[in-house]
Structure 1
């Protein structure tokens, strides 16, 4: 029973940390760049809790941007200052603090043409 309680407490702590994580938007992503490569590039600024490359739902191809979550606001700010405007994997990248709710799916376009 104590192993289960320990595991539950650990999972709860991780969930709380994720909820308070600082999310950055990284655009200018090369098609060949995966989540592992992004995490490796950002780890030098601090602990990265999560990386998500945004994919087209139909083709499963990268849409050219990703989100990076940091556990520390200070580390996130340093990453923005150091990475924004850099040339990475043949492309200039843009790194900013993500807007709240910007990770949600985009609304479907209207079937009507105007």
Structure 2
């Protein structure tokens, strides 16, 4: 069984992991649902990820929810792209100033 991760954009700030999971369960089995929270403000960043149990359920979720209203906002739903490696933010990684 190959799970399929979806990117959910345009979420209302009030949307929670639980409400996202409950909503997307209309498309099938939700393995996980995560609203991304800004560490500095402790508020939603307005996007999240839902992992469906099969590619077919993921396709159904895209069909059901992409461009549709969810918690008062029209959301965008698409297949999640693999996370890109993060660039170094400085610090003590051996690069830099030469001292």
* TM-score higher than 0.5: yes
Shorter-chain TM-score range: 0.7 to 0.9
The separation in 1 between residues aligned to 2:58 and 2:47, in whole angstroms, is 17
Counterpart in the other structure of 1:40: 22
Computed over aligned residues only, the root mean square deviation of the Cα atoms, in angstroms, reads 2.0
Unaligned ranges ≥5, structure 2? 91-99
Per the normalisation by structure 1, the TM-score is 0.71
Q: Aligned equivalents of 2:56 and 2:66: distance in 1?
A: 15
- Aligned counterpart in structure 1 of residue 62 of structure 2, from 61, 80, 87: 80
Q: Cα deviations across residues 42-62 of structure 1 (Å, max 9, x unaligned)? A: 101111000111111211211
CA drift of 1:107 comes to 4.6
Deviations 1:43-82 (A, max 9, x none): 0111100011111121121100000001110000010011
What is the TM-score with the length of structure 2 in the denominator? 0.81
What is the correspondence of 1:92-111 to structure 2 with a 5 Å cutoff? 92-101=74-83, 107=87
Segments of 4+ moved more than 2 angstroms? 106-110
Of 51, 57, 60, which aligns to 1:69?
Answer: 51
Give the structure 1 partner of residue 38 of structure 2: 56
Work out which structure has the larger RCO, using CA pairs closer than 8 Å and 6 or more positions apart in sequence.
Answer: 2
> Whose helix proportion is higher, 1 or 2?
1
Aligned length: 90
